[in-house]
Structures are given as structure tokens and as C-alpha cells.
């Protein structure tokens, strides 16, 4: 039996994870957490005693003694659970990319001490993990992250002035929660994923490329020094990376269909438009600057996305708020969680105070 703590149980990843657990008799849910949704019905249906809504999740994790923590919390709120799993050497199935972006150095130090597995549940990073497994780091030339381009691919900056929340939430290929869907429309998601890839795989930023691939069939590629590249292909369905992480290394079967190549499959790629979608470039700059700049990028982006979803901020102001906040933070490295919380709070305060024209 593999005991799973599912954090973010009512979100898009959480619901699909429950389907994966129900399919696999060797997986058992032992703890459930959500940010604010009631869990009593779900807990009763699965006979789970360790349940928590909101707050610090570390006591829940201590009490439920999981073998795997599936962290599908949204945003910086997931940091505590990420650090708990890494510190305790408990397998971390990580769907909360924000925690790795914000707490990168602390997370790597905790993983070093804990010695457990860190399995990404982000389609691109799961793909990279699979393409890199068993390869020597010296043989790797570069990583390629693919981006769908989101609902506004092909639009110029001038065409983005009056887009609505509903339009931004209409993602062409992936079914996801609202935060990551808006991040996909601004390309902030790919920026967060760029930093996530750097932290996970230790590859320098100038060796991680982002390309737009509208079909979302190729999830990532690894280029090797001999000129070969390995790509990971599949239908855009989060069931696969969730199942991969929860049943690692067995690759349990799923109900996701195989690719039908004979029916025709055209793979198109293009460069991202950094002028229309400046958050990707801002994330790269924050990542290269290091320290708590990535945490500040993430915090300011969370504030701006929440304001956009509330109708308080136009779409084009989201990157403006993030850029203004990044200009004002000091970005000094965090020595501990208290430092990180302070850097996060400072970036949120600055982002919240940016005047919007
Ligand atoms: Mg992704």
C-alpha cells in the first residue's frame, strides 16, 4: 500500500488524482486538505480521518504519516507542505510549482537533508524527468519547455487591451484551475515553469528554451550534446503526470488514449512573443537574478492575477504590476523560511500598491 496525502483535493489536479487513486488498489488516500472547500463528503466517501481546510498543513502531515505528498495547493500557500515532504524524505509529487519557484534554494537544501524523491506533476517537468532519467548530466545540451501559447496566441500587445476574464479563462487545450489558466494566458505560467525547471534539474537558464507549440502534444524535449533530442509526446491530459508520480516507477495503466499517428499529426512550433507576453522575460530575469527575486516574481504575479480575476486590473496591467514590484524589492537570498515569508509579504505589499493607469 502507498499512503497518499492529497493537498488541494477539490481542485482540478485533486479531482483527477482521486480518479487515479480509485483505479489503483495499491494507492490509499490517508489525508485530504483544501484551501477553503468543505471536505466532509469526500472524507466520508473515502473513510479518511485526517482532513483539514486551510491553514498550516504540517501537523496534518505529521499525523497522517504519508508515503507520498501530492501537493496541489495553489500558489505560495503550498510552501510549507513542500518543505515538510522534502525535509522528511517523503516522496513529493509536486503540482504546486509556485513553492519550488519561491523557495528554490531552501527546497534543494531540504531535499539534500531528507534524501527523498521529488517527482514533478507539471506536464512539461514530468516529461523532462522521463527524458532525463538515467542520462548523465554532462551529456545534456539543453532543455526545451513547450507552451500552448494560451487563448491569446498570435495577438499583438495592442489586441490585448480589452480582453475579458472569461476570454482569458478559455484555454484551448488544457483543463485546469483559474490561477494556472490565467498564468497560461499571460505566459507567466511558462515563466514559473522555466524557474521550476532550473531548480528541479540544475540546468542553467541560458540552456532552457521555451517554444510555443499550440497542439500541446509534445510536452518537453531534452537536447543532447551529440545532436540528438528526446521528446515526450501524449494527449494533453494531467492524468498521465499525476499517475506517473503516484505509481512511480511502475507506470500504471490509465484510460488516456494512445496517440493515433495514422490519423495525422502535425507538430508546429514557433518562438514566443515576448513583447505581447512580457511575463516570460520578466521570469527569466528574476530567475537569473536569483535570491528572492523568483519569490517576488511569484508573489507579485499572484496579487496581480487575483486582481485581474476580480475585475480590478486590466490584462495588460498584470505584467506592469509584476515589473514594478520586481524593480522595488531587494531580492536578497532567504536564509530560512522566516526570511522567505518576509520577502513574499514585501513583494505582495509592493504589488498591491502599484498605481494602475
Ligand atoms: Mg505545465
Query: What is the CA(175)–ligand 1 centre distance, in A?
Result: 11
Share of the chain above pLDDT 90, in %: 97
How much is the mean pLDDT over the chain?
97
Query: What is the CA(275)–ligand 1 centre distance, in A?
Result: 21
Query: pLDDT confidence of 162, banded at 50, 70, 90?
Result: very high
Query: What is the CA(243)–ligand 1 centre distance, in A?
Result: 15
CB atoms within 10 A of CB 106: 24
3-class secondary-structure state, position 356 = coil
- pLDDT at site 354: 87
> Rounded mean pLDDT of 52-79?
97
Query: What is the CA(51)–ligand 1 centre distance, in A?
Result: 28
Query: What is the CA(357)–ligand 1 centre distance, in A?
Result: 31
- pLDDT at site 20: 98
Tens digit of pLDDT for each residue in 119-145? 999 999 999 999 999 999 999 999 999
CA angle 103-280-122, nearest 5°?
Answer: 55
Q: In this model, does residue 16 exceed pLDDT 90?
A: yes
- pLDDT at site 163: 95
Query: pLDDT confidence of 114, banded at 50, 70, 90?
Result: very high
Tens digit of pLDDT for each residue in 257-266? 999 999 999 9
pTM of the model: 0.97
Query: What is the CA(120)–ligand 1 centre distance, in A?
Result: 10
Query: pLDDT confidence of 357, banded at 50, 70, 90?
Result: low
Query: pLDDT confidence of 172, banded at 50, 70, 90?
Result: confident
Helical residues (DSSP H) of the chain, grouped into ranges = 12-23, 40-46, 58-64, 79-88, 97-102, 104-114, 123-132, 165-168, 178-186, 188-201, 239-246, 279-289, 293-309, 317-328, 337-352
Query: What is the CA(193)–ligand 1 centre distance, in A?
Result: 7
Instruction: Indicate the Cα dihedral angle 52, 56, 60, 62, nearest 10°.
Output: 180
Query: What is the CA(230)–ligand 1 centre distance, in A?
Result: 18
Amino acid at each position: 500500500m502507498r499512503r497518499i496525502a492529497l493537498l488541494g483535493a477539490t481542485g482540478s489536479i485533486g479531482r483527477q488524482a482521486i480518479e487515479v487513486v480509485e483505479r489503483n488498489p495499491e494507492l490509499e488516500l490517508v489525508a485530504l486538505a483544501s484551501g477553503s472547500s468543505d471536505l466532509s463528503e469526500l472524507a466520508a466517501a473515502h473513510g479518511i480521518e485526517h482532513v483539514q481546510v486551510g491553514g498550516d498543513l504540517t501537523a496534518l502531515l505529521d499525523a497522517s504519516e504519508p508515503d507520498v505528498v501530492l501537493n496541489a495547493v495553489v500558489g505560495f500557500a503550498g510552501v510549507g507542505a513542500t518543505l515538510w515532504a522534502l525535509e522528511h524524505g517523503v516522496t513529493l509529487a509536486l503540482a504546486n510549482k509556485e513553492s519550488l519557484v519561491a523557495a528554490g534554494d531552501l527546497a534543494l537544501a531540504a531535499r539534500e537533508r531528507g534524501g527523498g524523491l521529488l517527482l514533478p506533476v507539471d506536464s512539461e517537468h514530468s516529461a523532462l524527468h522521463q527524458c532525463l532519467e538515467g542520462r548523465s548530466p554532462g551529456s545534456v545540451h539543453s532543455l526545451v519547455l513547450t507552451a500552448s501559447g494560451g487563448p491569446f496566441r498570435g495577438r499583438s500587445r495592442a489586441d490585448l487591451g480589452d480582453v475579458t476574464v472569461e476570454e482569458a479563462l478559455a484555454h484551448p487545450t488544457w483543463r485546469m484551475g483559474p490561477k494556472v489558466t490565467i498564468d497560461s494566458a499571460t505566459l507567466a505560467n511558462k515563466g514559473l515553469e522555466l524557474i521550476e525547471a532550473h531548480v528541479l534539474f540544475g540546468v542553467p537558464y541560458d540552456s532552457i528554451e521555451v517554444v510555443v507549440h499550440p497542439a500541446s502534444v509534445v510536452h518537453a524535449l531534452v537536447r543532447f550534446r551529440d545532436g540528438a533530442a528526446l521528446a515526450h509526446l501524449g494527449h494533453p491530459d494531467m492524468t498521465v503526470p499525476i499517475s506517473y508520480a503516484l505509481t512511480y516507477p511502475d507506470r500504471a495503466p490509465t484510460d488516456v488514449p494512445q496517440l493515433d499517428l495514422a490519423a495525422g499529426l502535425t507538430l508546429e512550433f514557433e518562438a514566443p512573443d515576448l513583447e505581447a507576453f512580457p511575463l516570460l522575460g520578466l521570469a527569466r530575469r528574476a530567475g537569473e537574478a536569483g535570491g528572492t527575486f523568483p519569490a517576488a516574481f511569484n508573489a507579485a504575479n499572484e496579487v496581480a492575477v487575483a486582481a485581474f480575476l476580480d475585475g480590478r486590473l486590466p490584462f495588460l496591467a498584470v505584467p506592469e504590476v509584476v515589473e514594478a514590484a520586481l524593480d522595488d524589492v531587494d531580492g536578497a537570498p532567504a536564509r530560512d523560511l522566516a526570511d522567505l515569508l518576509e520577502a513574499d509579504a514585501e513583494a505582495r505589499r509592493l504589488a498591491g500598491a502599484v498605481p494602475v493607469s
